[in-house]
Structure 1
Amino acid sequence: MTIGHGFHAVMKARPGLGGELIGELLNAPSLPHDDCVVFLVGRSAADPDTVHVTEGWVSAEAHAAFFATEPAQKLVAKLQLLLDGESTYFDEVPVGGKAVL
């Protein structure tokens, strides 16, 4: 498997909406998409309204093409209603590891 594009995002939910934000992310249309090979959602232990997302895609082009679709745009619109301010994105390409959930 080759991951050519990825990022890590830190999102701050409106107070008390961290669980709802996580629920939307865990139902994201990117999860079953073949070009999305890493999609991890985490929560801050100190602040349940701070949510972390790590994504890995086969290419930047595949990521851009997917996020131009209607299901992706609907998700982005839903997420915007739950967020408190801007999200922070970090350039990160997953290279390996383990996730047992």
Structure 2
Amino acid sequence: MTVTHGFHATMTALPGKGDELVAFLLAAPSLPSADCVVFLVGRSAADPDTVHVTEGWTSEAAHAAFFATDEAAALVARLQPLLADEPQYADVVPVGGKAAF
């Protein structure tokens, strides 16, 4: 599947909530969806409350369509109380790589 839309998000959890934020993101039942072909969660080695997410989607329209659903709204609503501030986004389109977890 070809990735044509993506981003890298940096989220800062409330103090001491980094583990909870990581667990929430990794357990998100609808991600990756069929159109979300990259969903990678990482964290800062220096600050465990700083969490990074890289996503790659088949298209910007597919990303928008997913986040227009009630399911996505519920996920975002459950995510917000874990965050100290708004996530920061960078324009990134994943092109390949390797993961072995």
Instruction: Sort the TM-score into its range (normalised by shorter chain).
Output: over 0.9
Spell out, residue by residue over 1:44-67, the C-alpha distance to the aligned partner (whole angstroms, 9 max, x if none): 100000000000000000000001
TM-score normalised to the size of structure 1? 0.96
Q: Render the CA deviation track for 1:40-95: whole Å, top value 9, x for unaligned.
A: 00011000000000000000000000011111111111111000012110000000
Whether the 8 Å contact between 1:6 and 1:57 is mirrored in structure 2 is yes
> Please, what is the CA RMSD of the aligned residues?
0.7
Matches within 5 A, 1:17-96: 17-28=17-28, 29-31=30-32, 33-96=33-96
Identity %, equivalent residues:
67
TM-score (norm 2): 0.96
Gaps of 5+ in 1: none
Moved over 4 A (4+): none
Count, aligned residues = 100
